[in-house]
Structure 1
């Protein structure tokens, strides 16, 4: 980092080393939200010199007509060398820095490690409302009530947006006749009067639930007495009304309302009885926001006593954290890791520190976050990409400023590592093995777990990585002393691990014992569970009805016209859909080659499983949890609610069913096609298979019941399956480490994947070959490729990959500079203008 990054901006005349003259000019190097390798220098006009600081946003013109909100990165008095005119900063947006020194240090590390630019990090790190640009789309917030104290310009702008629906900032500049409207837009953003770019408001709504209140006619003691008298001939209504009064107005801790679901369950009354009281204007119902994360109103925090194993683990973690070495908490499923986290969080909050709690996908960890909100209440905030701009900006400033109502605990997905923490005391990375922590596109292609470790070093905050199935990299770091290792080998309250059965699909098929897609073992277990009024979860990691269709006459398979992949058949939509670009074709019923009508489905997805189960178990309520069924508003929450309340008997799903779910009544879990996991062409396939099967198996057998897990496969003797059954992670780890060391794969070597794309296949082949030749000059036989990936064309872009293996003890920084130098050399060659090349460090 430059020593003068945080140069004090004193104002005496300074000697300009470049032009050897006395200079009073102040210059700012700024970061633009663009994938540019350098910062750009602007002159700070005299009127801004007293207020400008590193870390604040300024408005600058870039190019002929475009304006951006840039971030001040460095202040200095060195006049730039060159024949170009230096532009002035147009406006200063902030009074105080919105990006801290610690954040800029982290950004620089990201640039160096992940081969990206500061502009790309800036664009990824800040909420979109904090980085406006000329082409940013602005729309009127329909929930905003216009007050009378708006300025004429503000009111005119809002009326224009109401009439036009949406406009970019360039159009707004023309409308109000100003060079830049950023200052006005900033004020309207602060008032929550406008929405920015992604119309997230349409995809996010606060979660609500119906609550029951006394009607306005029944608010006095005399009115209540008259109502009780009038209900004497309607005994069931009277009983329900008396119960409601006992739980609200006449409770030891009186409250105004009661959730409808809780009222009906606890009073053992029916919907019709409640409806009668509402129709008589005795009670009324109102939808109340309970938060997207579904934690009940008026519910006291659940206090858990740690068992002996948890107490030992907590003590060991405390000892290790004092040395600021990251701790890997390896605890089997249901071992009670969350209870340990809560104790550690309580310690930090009592000291006035902040805690960052990372989860892989915040939308799929509803139950976990509910527990955290119950435990820590308003001190816990959620940072979620699906929240609207105003909410994300609010959390940003809430985290930055030390105010009474500021969040101390922030729960978030991977982007939460970019928040401006002021006093970070602890970082928890839950389910650290999850691929969701890796950002794939666009840059920076970072891994939030690894960024969290560096963030902890910057803030001198301890880091805990928790999981039941560690990533091999993290476990290797623990075994070699880079991380500390704490293990939990007992389930909480001595709950038994599920009984696991490997079911041979090939043998069952040969004996003609298959029940549609189910082996006899799984069919019998589902029958038993349903007979005992228990629930079942079935896992298949492919959505849709069938992975592809095929002509039985000539073998033709319909493919996407934009991607090199077959179309997936979705029966409920009557269409074939590409899962890579979204291209959709209607089902004609005829072969595209020979026009035969003998079209067959091949394979099975969650949609087909749902249909088959409804035929096999007609009395059971079957539901499906995948991207198709959870895409709608509240789709995921609705399924969770229905399953929790036993309105669903069998839940079929993709990886969604493996994450963050804890249901007391689930006794059977079925994995319908383990081969699909084991045979994926990737050096991590065995590691991921073990993780996924173990995680989904952990959904079975909570509380006082031992669960049963049936794994269907055509490879019943596969060593990974037997290691899962024996819960022998160490054996799998040791076996795979020997292979990876032999073939130079992580964690013994680091990988950099270089992806080359072009719409012309011949030009792609030429560029990829030229790049591989350049790289081999520096890395020799540690270059793999260029080769086409499994999907060689996506959205009409052909692509190839080159993999570079780097020794762990090599000079990584120098190696990456050599890689990016070769990339720059290729891109500068003639006829490579439309070539796209990016590097992915530590690819997943």
Structure 2
């Protein structure tokens, strides 16, 4: 007899290990399957991670597996091993890592049910009727909970927590013929006169080949449900449920494309990567190519080779807004070989795309961060486009970086990993410099007619003296009007959504705050509300100051919504599309906006950073950055790097076709090295200058970093715990490590919790893993008192 080793869905340090369960003879259990097991008084979902031989004398407390939740394993040996790696590097529970790998629709949903365990006819009649169990919700709705609680104490009723699995598979009804075609006349002879519909149905069914199925919806045009049900009763046909996929691209016609001719630089990069793939040689390539240099065509041709070699491939993009364009380009080249995974799909669509990959029906995945877990076998290439993007790092547990997991999977499959960007992260570029990654460069645009755009810097300090309240300099306004006359398009970037940053009383200076967070509320004119971008709190726009009662409420700061209104007054003839979190909430909204812009149904695309990268519209000849300083002066050591990347990326949207492109960057810091180097598209000089600053200040890539965050509903408790942890870290870590803090979070209170943080900087710290694991272990007891401790390895943000 075998025992199954099961990781249970109870995320805590004490339960972060496999538990042994008996395998009943009637259950077929395999490693990687999900199962329902008893754990204490509850039923929970678990993952089978291994088997053990049962001892001769079985322990009395050994429980059996209750049921198997999958027909086949949902996690293979590779993904189970990857979960172990994630657990160590992200300081997360293994069950959390395993659940992260699966579509959200496969996560367990727990329900409370009351069972009649002692046969009591009165109780049965009053509460249960013919059933043996009753849902908690139903009992609550009927007002029976108090009486049932008494019965539970008497041992008549038992409360159980059970695993509820959703029906994830979509089926469609089909019809199968049950008679021989030669019997049609005989069947017709048995019909009453004038049964035209039934005769017609018999003729149509007779035309079907043996075992052929026809969709019910196909017959619905000619026959009613009653006609078909009657035919079933007569034994002419049977209804069959057939599993179908929800295809997010079913309604679209995508024109097939073929490989383009590569220039010398592209060809060299393609050959290097393809050779590594064919030789099953794991190497990490950093493909540094200017905007418009044809990186995507290199990716497509590398993947074409991997498919020809019978291998699979993975293509990650950072933003959901990039996925529609990238997915379309891949579908156009590889058709049904491509499955798409990103958060813009419905749960059912995601599940079906995942199953195509899991069943080997699709061999290429295109998707955002979580697509790194796609169940592909025999990987031949893993590509991460815009590798510098912070959205590849997950901000909640498990706090993994897709780039690290891509490299782990690349080693596992002995395949190359390609990191592509016009502005690589300093960490990746430093590794390219040292030879840890192989650096490949594309220094010119793939379209020989397309040159990098010219960039003008506008000093907004001077402009503000002339045009007090305008978001647009004279220069930018003039160029926007010029593009309208020429029938060309423009892109405008403002990295702040909403109508206004805050509202303030001009009489007493009161700024309307969020009641749950230490941040002001942002005005959203389209919904006529004040909204918190951290906790989601929403309230009406005040017309009088809540503090002094005066009506001197004014709007300050500018968001995309306000700029759209300003554009309508400034250039009323311009057709403007706005693209930010507020306009892209609905499913398919990203694609709808981008398609409309691509079809030239708008003259100006205005948006936040989601429009800054990946978009390829040949008719865009002007890019305007309304405020280049939004992130430049934030108290984060990556502020300059992020600003340079954003400006370079958005500048790259201009002049990608045959027409020359121009960029106007409006800034209050025209002398800042980041702005000046972005003006000249000079990544190399920026890299050298920024590396010098990082070296002087002991920051990545010269040091590794860990952020420890403590939060509690009382500020004093959070601060006390943070100082206690700082003392522990100072005692246990070597003098080589640098400890910053503890300090209050940049926004001290979010969702009514107070945040304090510590930063550990180190080059080599052998005691770090053990010390942090010990902190997590102890933090389990603190949780009962409301203290939460989070550990973020290599954080993207320090504020």
> TM-score by structure 2 length?
0.80
Give secondary structure in 2 for the equivalent of 1:791: strand
Q: Which residue of 2 aligns with 1:417?
A: 372
Note the C-alpha offset of 1:352. 1.0
Q: Is the 8 A contact 2:345 2:587 kept in 1?
A: no
Q: Is the 8 A contact 1:563 1:581 kept in 2?
A: yes
Matched, 1:635 2:589: yes
* Larger CA deviation: 530-539 vs 82-91: 82-91
Note the C-alpha offset of 1:82. 13
Matched, 1:43 2:1: no
Matched, 1:488 2:442: yes
Closer, same or farther: CA 93–550 of 1 in aligned 2, 3 Å: closer
CA deviations on 1:62-84 (whole Å, 9 max, x unpaired) are 231x3222111121136699998
Matched, 1:715 2:643: no
Q: Which residue of 1 aligns with 2:297?
A: 339
Give the aligned length.
685
Aligned partner (choices 37, 53, 65) of residue 60 of structure 1: 37
| Aligned pairs (5 A) from 1:750-789 | 750-779=704-733, 780=735, 782-789=738-745
Give secondary structure in 1 for the equivalent of 2:470: coil
Q: Is the 8 A contact 1:27 1:78 kept in 2?
A: yes
Q: d(CA) in 1 for partners of 2:602 and 2:345?
A: 29
Aligned partner (choices 800, 803, 807) of residue 756 of structure 2: 800
CA deviations on 1:96-127 (whole Å, 9 max, x unpaired) are 42211111111111111111110110121112
Q: Is the 8 A contact 2:502 2:556 kept in 1?
A: yes
Q: Is the 8 A contact 2:23 2:29 kept in 1?
A: no
CA deviations on 1:759-799 (whole Å, 9 max, x unpaired) are 01111111111111111112356111111121111110111
Closer, same or farther: CA 86–304 of 1 in aligned 2, 3 Å: same
Aligned partner (choices 125, 128, 131) of residue 101 of structure 2: 125
Q: d(CA) in 2 for partners of 1:615 and 1:82?
A: 80
CA deviations on 1:27-62 (whole Å, 9 max, x unpaired) are 22211234233224233144157x333212221022
Q: Is the 8 A contact 2:274 2:305 kept in 1?
A: no
Q: Is the 8 A contact 2:246 2:352 kept in 1?
A: no
Q: d(CA) in 2 for partners of 1:189 and 1:515?
A: 54
Aligned partner (choices 423, 426, 431) of residue 381 of structure 2: 426
Give secondary structure in 2 for the equivalent of 1:454: helix
Q: Is the 8 A contact 1:767 1:826 kept in 2?
A: no
CA deviations on 1:490-544 (whole Å, 9 max, x unpaired) are 101221101100000001223x156821112211211211111111111001011
Gaps of 5+ in 2: 114-130, 142-147, 153-157, 173-244
Q: Is the 8 A contact 2:112 2:162 kept in 1?
A: no
Closer, same or farther: CA 619–386 of 1 in aligned 2, 3 Å: closer
Give secondary structure in 2 for the equivalent of 1:593: coil
Matched, 1:828 2:786: no
Matched, 1:503 2:480: no
Aligned partner (choices 313, 323, 336) of residue 269 of structure 2: 313
CA deviations on 1:137-188 (whole Å, 9 max, x unpaired) are 9xxxxxxxxxxxxxxxxxx99xx9xx99x9xxxx9xx9xx9989869x57x4
Q: Which residue of 2 aligns with 1:672?
A: 626
Matched, 1:819 2:795: no
Q: Which residue of 2 aligns with 1:479?
A: 433
Q: d(CA) in 1 for partners of 2:92 and 2:469?
A: 52
**Alpha-carbon RMSD:** 3.2
Q: d(CA) in 1 for partners of 2:300 and 2:414?
A: 20
Give secondary structure in 2 for the equivalent of 1:790: strand
Note the C-alpha offset of 1:345. 0.5
Give secondary structure in 2 for the equivalent of 1:426: strand
Closer, same or farther: CA 110–654 of 1 in aligned 2, 3 Å: same
Note the C-alpha offset of 1:362. 3.4
Q: Is the 8 A contact 2:742 2:757 kept in 1?
A: yes
Aligned partner (choices 380, 387, 391) of residue 349 of structure 2: 391
CA deviations on 1:392-442 (whole Å, 9 max, x unpaired) are 33333332334xxx111111111112222221111011111111111002x
Q: Which residue of 2 aligns with 1:564?
A: 518
Closer, same or farther: CA 607–828 of 1 in aligned 2, 3 Å: same
Matched, 1:551 2:505: yes
Q: Which residue of 2 aligns with 1:300?
A: 256
Q: d(CA) in 2 for partners of 1:398 and 1:295?
A: 18
Give secondary structure in 1 for the equivalent of 2:457: strand
Matched, 1:737 2:691: yes
Matched, 1:76 2:31: no
Give secondary structure in 1 for the equivalent of 2:630: helix
Q: Is the 8 A contact 2:363 2:376 kept in 1?
A: no
CA deviations on 1:798-821 (whole Å, 9 max, x unpaired) are 1111111121x443xx41221231
Gaps of 5+ in 1: 1-10, 12-25, 138-155, 194-288
> TM-score by structure 1 length?
0.76
Give secondary structure in 1 for the equivalent of 2:535: coil
Q: d(CA) in 2 for partners of 1:298 and 1:699?
A: 23
